[in-house]
Amino acid sequence: MTENIKLEVVTPERVVVSEESQIVAAPGSLGEFGVLSGHTPFLTSLKTGIIRYTDAKGTEQSVFISGGFAEALPNKVTVLAESAERKSEIDLERAKGAMERAQKRLEADSTGEDVDFVRARAALERALVRLKLAGGASA
């Protein structure tokens, strides 16, 4: 049996995950990557997406992250995320509201209103990923 690897997902506010896992898959800025125990060390930026991991008992787990960085070491993966939520923590109604607000801002952009398109697009992406993870949309 392969050794486990420690996964820590941390935001400026709290520790979201700190547990042993069998494998970790994360949304790197250049594509998804996976880490097992004994992996070669590296550091990478992350994009908004879902970290998937198999815990020490073999159960698949998922965590939403909004950007950040990941450091992989032979026995540990540390994720420093701007924000992160476990699947069970996602409020579907709040995520749907955020998606609708972002869509309205993007529509307003086409009418010539002063809208920060980059922020609106990022907000829409975060909402869609949260909804996908929580099962509220097929984004």
CATH number at 91-134: 1.20.5.440
Domains 5-87 and 91-134 share a fold: no
Q: Which residue has the higher pLDDT, 104 or 11?
A: 11
Report the predicted TM-score, pTM, of the whole model to 2 decimal places. Answer: 0.78
Domain map (residue ranges) of the chain: 5-87, 91-134
**Which tens digits make up the pLDDT trace of 80-106?**
999 999 988 888 888 888 888 888 888
5-19, 54-68, 74-88, 105-119, range with the lowest pLDDT:
105-119
**Which tens digits make up the pLDDT trace of 99-133?**
888 888 888 755 555 667 777 788 878 888 888 88
Smallest CA-to-CA distance from 87 within 30, 133, 49, 118 is with 133
Smallest CA-to-CA distance from 131 within 82, 84, 91 is with 91
Q: Do the beta carbons of residue 67 and residue 82 sit within 8 Å?
A: yes
**Length in residues, the chain:** 139
CATH of range 5-87; options 2.102.10.10, 3.30.70.890, 2.60.15.10, 3.40.190.10: 2.60.15.10
Name the token pair of 67.
């950007």
